[in-house]
Amino acid sequence: MAIAVVSDGLDKTHEWWENYFSEGGGWERNGGRQQSRLFAEHFVQRFAIDRQSHFRLLDVGCALGDAIDLFHQAYPQAELHGVDFSAVAIARCKSKLGAAATFSVGDIDHVQGHFDVIYCSNTLEHFANYAEKAASLAEHCARLCILVPYKELVDGKALQPRANEHHQATFYDDSFDSLLRSGQAASIDRFVFSAPGAWGWTPAERVTQPLKNILRPLLGKQVVSEPFQVLYDIKMKPREAAV
């Protein structure tokens, strides 16, 4: 999971994010590390590739590197890279995982090089112009793997861009079909799954959440649906064949 990019809708200062990723900061207090690993585990379960093969993978918005740590174990021959706009996060990644991967400070709009796989987990929902961000990433990879909440609703309605909200859009099966229409992508496989303990609910929350949602309107709060996750495995056309 990675929300380590200042979004078009979430107005946070660079200093705020640096504090958020500091030792014992909000990222860890809010379970960001556990969520990152959980989403990475779901990805490994569904991503079709020879685990002993050599390939280059970039984690965009790598936060504190918990997905990279898992990928290092799951794909021992892979060349791993992580990028995040937080210098604090990258420094911590280098300190802990510098022998397993290469890390650099950067943002989603300035990816350099070409990779077999770009992994972008729970980042694009923070952007109103998520399709443009995906198209930019697609220029730098053979496969673009995007994880985001699936059909997330607030008060029964799809999300709309709103200032100072974390999530700016609701994602459906066709949310990245623009990559097919533009000729960048050759195919898109979609995998929808529940992820209890992350955006989904734990067994206990499944019992209590319906009651909470009854009470929320009385408190002037929005009713949030249980969002599932969706993994888009987007295969690009060969670079020379793209139009």
Phi and psi at residue 232, in whole multiples of 5°? -100, 120
Position 1 pLDDT exceeds 60: no
Q: Where are the domains of the chain?
A: 14-196+226-236
State residue 79's pLDDT score.
98
Position 5 pLDDT exceeds 50: no
The per-residue b/e assignment along 63-82, b for 16 or more CB within 10 angstroms, e otherwise, is bbbbbbbbbbebbeebebbb
Q: What does the block give as tokens for 107? A: 């943002």
State residue 206's pLDDT score.
65
Q: Please write the tens of the pLDDT for every residue from 127-182.
A: 999 999 999 999 999 999 999 999 998 888 999 998 878 899 999 999 999 999 99
| 81 and 44 Cβ atoms separated by less than 8 Å | no
Give the predicted TM-score (pTM) of the model.
Answer: 0.87
pLDDT-based confidence at 217, cuts 50/70/90?
confident
Kindly state the average pLDDT of the residues 60-67.
97
Q: Please write the tens of the pLDDT for every residue from 75-125.
A: 999 999 999 999 999 999 999 999 999 999 999 999 999 999 999 999 999
CATH number of the domain located at residue range(s) 14-196+226-236 in this protein: 3.40.50.150
Angle at 80 between CA 74 and CA 84, to 5 degrees: 120
Q: Strand (E) positions, the chain?
A: 56-60, 79-84, 102-105, 115-121, 141-150, 153-154, 157-158, 185-193, 228-236
Quick count: other Cβ atoms within 10 Å of Cβ 182?
13
Position 184 pLDDT exceeds 50: yes
**Among residues 106, 125, 112, which one has the least CA distance to residue 62?**
106
Kindly state the average pLDDT of the residues 211-224.
72
State residue 225's pLDDT score.
66
Position 185 pLDDT exceeds 70: yes
Q: Please write the tens of the pLDDT for every residue from 42-63.
A: 999 999 999 999 999 999 999 9
What gap in Å lies between CA 127 and CA 145, rounded to an integer? 17
Kindly state the average pLDDT of the residues 196-212.
67
